């Protein structure tokens, strides 16, 4: 049944309100990944089993909770009753998006020991620039119709990391960023064929023109830290033919939904893209 899920990208932003006070991890991406997977199980155990057992990459991402600044105490934050958060979930197949849209205001989600009520959800990109949907033709048309592209700017808005040998590498060099996106594209069987090895080759002709950012250790669990970065990086594509520039733009726009680098499904590697 789910082997023929229709390709579609989408993002929904939920507004959540804590119904009681309590503690959460400072970075809650792993917790929120679990919250969405439980939503998937409740909607369709068959779909959840297929995603868990058959797919190389989970066709969704779940951001960490986004809200006001909290003081971290030993890697945890204290949330008070009534605190409000934004939570962004993306899906890369129509069946996943249907589950995302089934959530209704008033529903309560269990976030570790804290119940949080869904106050609102936004799926319209005009209401929230981090929400919205793209069909196959829209995604391909946006990238392949761009003929004057020379610079691509990626804003890594959540902690991001790449695995190099046995270490976490906190710097988005072109030969790490674009092959990472190409691998995710392949794993999700996206509609156009993109070869990771070829993307790695053409990435060697791309260079970082401007950047600003910082590194930070993020703990997904108390025992598991990841060396990450956030920041804005502009990539100069002028040494590439137009067709190859369009491929990198296509991958970057895909990355807005799929994330980039390690553990994107757990809130790492979220990105926004601009170009000229």
pLDDT tens-digit readout, 230-252? 999 999 999 999 999 999 999 99
Residue 7: predicted pLDDT: 55
Instruction: Please tell me if the domain spanning 2-122 has the same topology as the one spanning 145-275.
Output: yes
Q: Which fold has domain 145-275?
A: Alpha-Beta Plaits (3.30.70)
- Total-model pTM: 0.93
Tokens 């869904």 identify what position?
Answer: 118
Ranges of beta strands (E only) in the chain are: 7-18, 22-25, 60-62, 76-79, 84-93, 108-111, 114-122, 132-135, 151-160, 162-164, 167-169, 207-221, 224-236, 271-275
What string of pLDDT tens digits covers the 276 residues of the chain?
Answer: 334 445 589 999 999 999 999 999 999 999 999 999 999 999 999 999 999 888 878 999 999 999 988 998 888 999 999 999 999 999 998 899 999 999 999 999 999 999 999 999 999 999 999 999 998 888 888 888 888 899 999 999 999 999 998 889 999 999 999 999 999 999 998 888 999 999 999 999 999 999 999 999 998 877 778 999 999 999 999 999 999 999 999 999 999 999 999 999 999 999 999 999
Please work out, in degrees rounded to the nearest 5, the angle formed at the alpha carbon of residue 218 by the alpha carbons of 217 and 221: 130
Cβ atoms within 10 Å, residue 135: 14
Structural domain boundaries of the chain? 2-122, 145-275
CATH class of 2-122: alpha beta
Contact 116, 18 (CB under 8 A): yes
What digits encode the pLDDT tens for the residues 39-62? Answer: 999 999 999 999 988 887 899 999
């Amino acid at each position: 049944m789910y082997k023929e899920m229709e390709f579609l990208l989408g993002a929904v932003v939920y507004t959540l309100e804590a119904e009681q006070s309590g503690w959460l991890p400072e970075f809650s991406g792993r917790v929120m990944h679990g919250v969405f997977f439980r939503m998937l199980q409740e909607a369709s155990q068959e779909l959840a089993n297929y995603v868990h057992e058959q797919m190389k990459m989970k066709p969704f991402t779940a951001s960490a909770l986004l809200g006001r600044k909290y003081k971290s105490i030993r890697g945890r934050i204290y949330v008070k009753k009534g605190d409000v958060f934004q939570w962004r979930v993306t899906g890369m197949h129509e069946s996943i998006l249907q589950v995302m849209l089934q959530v209704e205001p008033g529903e309560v989600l269990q976030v570790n020991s804290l119940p949080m009520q869904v106050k609102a959800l936004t799926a319209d990109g005009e209401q929230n620039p981090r929400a919205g949907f793209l069909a196959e033709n829209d995604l391909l048309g946006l990238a392949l119709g761009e003929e004057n592209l020379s610079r691509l700017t990626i804003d890594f808005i959540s902690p991001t990391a790449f695995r190099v040998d046995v270490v976490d590498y906190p710097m988005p060099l072109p030969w790490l960023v674009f092959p990472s996106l190409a691998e995710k594209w392949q794993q999700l069987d996206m509609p156009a064929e993109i070869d990771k090895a070829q993307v790695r080759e053409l990435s060697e002709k791309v260079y970082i023109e401007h950047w600003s950012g910082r590194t930070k250790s993020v703990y997904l669990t108390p025992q598991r830290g990841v060396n990450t970065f956030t920041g804005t990086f502009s990539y100069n594509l002028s040494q590439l033919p137009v067709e190859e520039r369009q491929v990198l733009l296509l991958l970057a726009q895909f990355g807005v939904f799929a994330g980039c680098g390690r553990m994107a499904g757990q809130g790492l590697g979220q990105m926004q893209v601009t170009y000229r």
